[in-house]
Chains A and B, each alone.
Chain A
């Protein structure tokens, strides 16, 4: 056992080496110097101007004024000059779904096929070929990276091993994408997400996507089933009313997860569900829309992260549906009214979160197809959504860099531009603190010291 563990660790570190750049395998010390007009540290809000970052073998070695760093590099070292751009840590989407892109159907389809959430695409994604879905994952992963998301946490809807296999394929360079933390199958009670299936097929279909649990033993086994597929994190979905998974079952799931040194992210929207998650000691609450002030205080005191998902804020639903669906006027009026209510809720939630002192990150929950946008561009709409709801730009930046890194347990690897961290960087032309939509126009992306995108090359 001990020997196995040691070999595992060795293999793991070899993989890290590989993923931090094939370049490293070719030339023993690959060094790059990046220069930019400004470097914004989201932790402090401080700006270093002008700035330089020295990268060696995929990791950040030194950060400082260009004159100071240039003294430490040999002549002729590869230099990337980003002109007047502003450097930031690579963005982190702490809640996404890379293997699902729901195309919202016409209203009639909803009425006819009442088989659960995300009709009909969630069900189709499960029953169609996993290979087909894998290639969707490859595309969406590439698109996320191209928009500056250098790390994402995939929280379900990826089949039995879709996200874990995608992570591994990215790490060995088969396909291009961000660092992925994979959750495997969602653990949930029977009846969530997909319903009303052909009884002859129901069990087989559900098993492809979910681990349905109703008691302590099933809860523990579900965690173990995901661990078999080498997941990085466990995702549990609690019903709004807290039906199906109660506090003792949730506590067993948390215990089993922590025994394996993994974190547990819990979908909880209603107050009862949020309370079960808090009482069971989860690591993060996803969505949390209906949280009370008292619950925010409990989360703060227990160190539970609030992962805000501003997906449907700022009129998102109409934006993604209008290019392809005709709404009857009555339905459209209903949707507009719902948007208004949602935006009010969002503004209130953001104020209460900021006031409470709870630790928070933000995720896109992007499992939707946004006509005309790539997956990365769709995910980046969360930045203006948070801003519309009243979150200051610096807090938004913190949420998707340093805070997210801490929530993921990767604060030693990502989330800041400082020596020892992976060289995951993005750059924007303007000042993201003055205009948060700069984050929707990322011009430069580097992951593990490798340039993914550079639209500033002419500088």
Chain B
């Protein structure tokens, strides 16, 4: 056992070496200099102008004025000049679902097939081939990376091992994509998400996507099953049926394996269960009370805001493809208005409370005409529309998210020792946050993924 423990970190560090660039294998010290008009540090809001970042073997070695950094440049180093663009740390989506893209069906379909949420694509994704789903994941991962998301946390809906395998395939260079923290199957109580299945098939179907919690011991076992799939994080969905002893057992088991535990909780009872059980982050948290926000702050529990439905998201994704009856449209419009009003209030209460927060998209929806990455960034920026100042939005999806993920030593800031995960935009994202919807340059691990500024 002990020998295994020693071997594992060694293997892990070898993998890191590999993933930090095939280039590294070719030229023994691969050095790149990135120059840009400005570099925004989300931690302080300070701007370095002009700026240069020296990258060696996929990691940031030095940050400073070009004149200073260039002096340390070895012969033969590659230089990428981004002109007047603004550099930022790579973006992080702390709550996504790369292996699901729900196409909202016509109204009639939602009514006829009442088998849970995300009708019918969630059930279809489970019962169709896992291989088919793997390729969906490959596409969404590539699209996320191309839009500047260099790290994502995938919180469920990916079959038994879809997200862990996607992570490994990306790390081995088989397919392009962001760094992934994978959670494998969601821990849920029976009756959530999928219902009314053929009894002859129900157990087999559920087992492909979920681990059912029914008592503290089953919660522990569920965590261990995910650990067997080599997950990076445990995801639990809390509803009124989940008890504190159950969730606390899952938390304890996760922490024993040095994994963080993210809890889906929307209503205040579920949120209280998560707080009392010692979860590391509360996902969504829409109905958190002021008292709960205070408790979270005091216990250091992160709130992962998911402003997915904000600003008529569902109307926007449905309008291009399904006919909305006047009644349906009006139902949605009323619900949207109420949702946005409550969300604006939540944001103000969160900002006032001092709770640590990050931002995630909960993206599992097909938005006609947009890539997964484009839909993701637009959704993250809903935080700004809901009242989060631009700098705080950027913090939420860089430095704060890195801390929530426990990767504050690897990502989330442009500083020596961190992975060279960078993005650049043409304008000033503090003045116009929608600049992030138009990321022009993406680098992951020191490798250029995208550079629309190349002519500079």
Residues on A close to B: CB < 8 A? Answer: 129-136, 138-139, 159, 161-162, 165-166, 168-169, 173-175
Contacts and interface: CB of A to CB of B under 8 A. Distances in A.
Contact of A174 (B135, B169, B173): B135
Nearest to B173: A139
A175 B169 CA distance: 13
B135 A138 contact: yes
A174 B159 CA distance: 18
Contacts of A139: 169, 173-175
Contacts of A130: 130-131, 134
Given A131-B161, A173-B139, 18 more contacts: A129-B161, A132-B169, A134-B131, A134-B165, A135-B138, A135-B165, A135-B175, A136-B174, A139-B174, A161-B132, A162-B131, A165-B132, A166-B135, A168-B135, A169-B135, A174-B136, A175-B138, A175-B175
Contacts of B161: 129, 131-132
A169 B165 contact: no
B132 A135 contact: no
Nearest to B177: A135
B129 A165 contact: yes
Instruction: Tell me what chain A mostly uses at the interface: helix, strand, loop, or mixed.
Output: helix
Contact of B130 (A131, A138, A168, A173): A131
Contacts of B175: 135, 138-139, 175
A191 B447 CA distance: 47
A135 B129 contact: no
A174 B131 contact: no
Residue from A134, A138, A166 having most chain B Cβ neighbours under 10 A: A134
A135 B130 contact: no
Interface of B: 129-136, 138-139, 159, 161-162, 165-166, 168-169, 173-175
16 contacts: A130-B131, A131-B134, A131-B165, A132-B165, A135-B134, A135-B168, A136-B174, A139-B173, A139-B174, A161-B131, A166-B135, A174-B135, A174-B136, A174-B139, A175-B138, A175-B175
Instruction: Tell me what chain B mostly uses at the interface: helix, strand, loop, or mixed.
Output: helix
A208 to B, nearest CB: 12
A79 to B, nearest CB: 20
Contacts of A132: 161, 165, 168-169
Contacts of A135: 134, 138, 165-166, 168-169, 174-175
B277 to A, nearest CB: 31
B36 to A, nearest CB: 26
A230 to B, nearest CB: 11
Nearest to B163: A131
A173 B132 CA distance: 13
The 9 A-B pairs of least Cβ separation, nearest first, read A135-B169, A169-B135, A134-B134, A139-B174, A174-B139, A131-B165, A165-B131, A131-B134, A174-B135
B135 A175 contact: yes
A74 to B, nearest CB: 27
A173 B168 CA distance: 22
A138 B165 CA distance: 13
A248 to B, nearest CB: 34
A269 B135 CA distance: 35
A41 B181 CA distance: 51
A162 B131 CA distance: 6
A278 B288 CA distance: 74
A130 B132 CA distance: 10
Given A129-B161, A139-B175, A134 B135 contact: yes
Contacts of B138: 135, 138, 169, 174-175
A452 to B, nearest CB: 15
Nearest to A169: B135
B132 A168 contact: yes
Contacts of A159: 131
Nearest to A132: B165
B447 to A, nearest CB: 16
A138 B132 CA distance: 11
Contacts of A161: 129, 131-132
Contacts of A173: 139
Contacts of B135: 134, 138, 165-166, 168-169, 174-175
B174 A131 contact: no
A168 B136 CA distance: 11
A353 B162 CA distance: 47
A169 B132 contact: yes
A129 B139 contact: no
A130 B159 CA distance: 12
Given A131-B131, A174-B136, A138 B174 contact: yes
A131 B139 contact: no
B178 to A, nearest CB: 15
Contacts of A131: 130-131, 133-134, 159, 161-162, 165-166
Nearest to A142: B175
A19 to B, nearest CB: 14
A143 B162 CA distance: 23
Nearest to A168: B132
